[in-house]
Amino acid sequence: MAHNNRTIVVGTRGSKLAMAQSGQVLEALRAAHGQVDFRLEVVQTRGDQDQSTALGESGVVGFFTRELELALMQQRIDLAVHSLKDLPTSQPDELVVALAVPEREDVRDVLVTRERVAMVDLSPAARIGTGSLRRRAQLAHWRGDLTFEPIRGNVETRLRKVAEGQFDATVLAMAGLNRS
């Protein structure tokens, strides 16, 4: 990477988790290219703005990435940091996906309950907030009596929704909890 006396602008979503992940990428870039200036630019995506539409119902490709792609193509940012799970399967021809895989985080999912009980002790028909079909299928396999409802928002929002009683529980990635 050649330094031409300009700052490399790194685009990211503004959630606490996205900022933590982007911070890790910036740390690695600065360590590898100490002579280059880098700065983060927060880009609000449709997925950040629309907290009510269930992910599977949005019908939008790039719900969490499209605005970052546009910022790249308009040269407002030089690169963007995403979780790979948020990327659509195809990208605009003008862009290149460069994978930078940080050290593997904890891969487990965590059941967060309002009553601080194990899954086997949840009441019958307990309301589980999840937007993940995979998590829903896994939980339904173990407890067919559970009720699943869509949940949206960042880690803090999902934890708050459980604490407020909107759901009896939610399932979150341990990696997200660790980074938030």
Give me the active site residues, please.
Answer: 86
The distance in angstroms from the start CA to the end CA of the chain is 30
Q: Give the orientation angle of helix 16-32 with respect to helix 155-163, to 10 degrees.
A: 150
Count CB-CB contacts under 10 A for residue 5. Answer: 6
109-113 vs 169-173, strand pairing mode: antiparallel
Q: Helices in 8-164 by DSSP H: which ranges?
A: 16-32, 46-49, 66-73, 133-142, 155-163
State the amino acid at position 16 in one-letter form.
K
Which two structure tokens, joined as six digits, stand for 136?
Answer: 């829903």
Where are the strands (E) in 26-108, listed by range?
37-42, 79-80
Are the C-beta atoms of residues 172 and 108 closer than 8 Å to each other?
no
Coil, strand or helix at 2? coil
Are the C-beta atoms of residues 167 and 71 closer than 8 Å to each other?
no
